[in-house]
Amino acid sequence: MMNTQVATREMFLAGLVNQCEKLGAAHLKSSAYGLDHLRDIAAQYVLSSHFPTVKDEEWRFTDLSPLLQIPLNLPQSNLSKIKLSDITMPVKDKADLPLRLVFVNGFYAPDLSTVNLPNLPIDFYVGNISNAPEKYQPRISDVLNKHRQQTEVFTALNIASLVDSAVVFVPANMSFDLPIHLLFLTAPGASPTMCQPHCLVIAEAGSNVTLIEDYATIGNVAAFTNAVTDVVVGENAAVNHVRLQREAGNVVHIGTSAIAQSRNSHYTCHAISLGGKISRHNLEVFQRGEATETTLNGLTVAFGEQLSDTHSLISFNHPHGTSRQLHKCIVGNKARAVFNGRVFVPKAAQLTDAGQLSRNLLLSPRARVDTKPQLEIVADNVKCSHGATVSQLEDDELFYLQSRGLDLERSRYLLIDAFAAEILDKLPIVGVAKMLSTCMAIQE
């Protein structure tokens, strides 16, 4: 029985790699940037790896076996019937996000994008990889080449099918005021689809930019979204990053965000997970210079039988680094949330100041959360703290609100909304917070 299960998992990965190879062969333009060689290296890594199971420490709370039962197909690149008017945007008014880059099933959709706005700064670029200015291609190649050394099977699987990518390039000393909306749509069509979007953000020295990375689904067919985002934050640069995962309830979503920060840079991530039958976000931040600041705010909302997993890493490598992390989970019905936050402080990272807190709210007796804040400290002159809390709605608080004339349902919603507000109020776009608050009210 065990050998049969192993063979099934290996055949599943081999089948996905075969689809990736067909996808690459169908898009000959992707030979630029050495993508053909990158895809080959990644494909070989996947074939030599194993499909994660609950016996693996990093996946012991997240069972991916339902993914093995989905007959995945190649994504369609030409879906002319899609209309953005049918998709709820993460703002009150769609005009609030005038700069939008849209990818459907991992392919650039120019007809749905609005990136050619008048008066955009010179040398600023938002688009897909094949249309990037020639002068930026060496810089893009340098970032992509880090994927030659693969260490994770789903990241390698994404690179094995890399034929298109979103690219945001902010030149040195530019402060770009408009938020950039990166919308990645999974549209399975009539059959389940594997969609593997890729995103590359380069903020050069002294620049400033705000991003909304948004994942949504069209239709109700099962799908697998496997996303990878690379963010490079240059010296003295600042990136404010919202990652919103709101895919349909029959989608398996796995996402990896890899951030490299240079000296004196500032990176802030607001990671919101609402959708998906099974979802996993791997957030990895590498501080590669002194006096680097990292802020991670996370909110997971899971109801029904959803499983939502967040694994984060903040890796310090130099002195005077700072990080603050707050992750909150709201879990109801029979749903399950997982949080594993690792902070690594080696001996070279003296005078580090790191704080980490996991706070969780369970709304039903069958809801479950597994939380593990984790500090690994080798340096001897640091200021580091971590903590975790798991609680329920307090009867005294519900009674107080009901004694003021509110019914039980409204009282519960107000307390849940207040719990989430500590994260939502920090979002750089007001409309995003309002939409998420409304979504949670509907789920509850």
| End-of-domain residue from the set 236, 264, 288 | 288
The amino acid sitting at 256 is T
Number of domains the chain is built from: 2
Residue 419 counted as domain residue: yes
Domain that holds residue 405: 395-444
pLDDT at 285: 98
Determine the pLDDT at residue 3: 60
pLDDT < 50 stretches in the chain: 1
What are the distances in angstroms from CA 154 to CA 159, 235, 255, 280, 430?
A: 9, 30, 9, 11, 33
Please enumerate in sequence order all residues whose Cβ is within 8 A of that of 108, keeping only pairs 6 or more positions apart, or say none: 101, 102, 127, 128, 130, 164, 166
The pLDDT score that the predictor gives to residue 337 is 98
* Domain closes at, from 261, 288, 315: 288
70 occurs within a structural domain: yes
| Residue 109 shares a structural domain with residue 255 | yes
Over the stretch 384-419, which tens digit does the pLDDT of each residue have?
999 999 999 999 999 999 999 999 988 998 899 899
Please report the beta strands in 97-171, taking only residues with DSSP state E, as ranges in sequence order: 99-104, 107-108, 125-128, 166-170
Instruction: Answer yes or no: is 299 within a domain.
Output: no
Query: Residue 202: inside a domain, yes or no?
Result: yes
Last residue of a domain, one of 249, 268, 288: 288
Residue 341 forms part of a structural domain: no
Q: Where do runs of H (alpha helix) occur along 153-300?
A: 153-160
Q: What pTM was computed for the model?
A: 0.95
Residues 172 and 34 in one domain: yes
Helix axes 153-160, 35-48, angle to 10 degrees: 140
Whether residue 258 is contained in a domain is answered as yes
pLDDT of residue 28: 53
If asked whether residues 407 and 262 sit together in one domain, one would say no
**Per-residue exposure over 209-242, b if at least 16 CB sit within 10 Å of its own CB, e if not:** bbbbbbbbbbeebbbbbbbbbbbbbbbbbbbbbb
CA distance 321 to 266: 11
Give the pLDDT of residue 429.
76
Q: What pLDDT, on a 0 to 100 scale, did the predictor assign at position 151?
A: 87
Nearest 5°: the CA angle 93, 94, 95 is 90
Rounded to an integer, what distance in angstroms lies between the CA atom of residue 213 and that of residue 102?
10
Check residue 181 and give left, alpha or beta (phi > 0: left; psi -120 to 50: alpha). beta
Instruction: Say yes or no: 141 and 279 in one domain.
Output: yes
Size (the chain), residues: 444
Tell whether 263 and 399 lie within a shared domain: no
Tokens of 70: 């989905």
364 assigned to some structural domain: no
pLDDT at site 47? 95
Q: pLDDT tens, 266-310?
A: 999 999 999 999 999 999 999 999 999 999 999 999 999 999 999
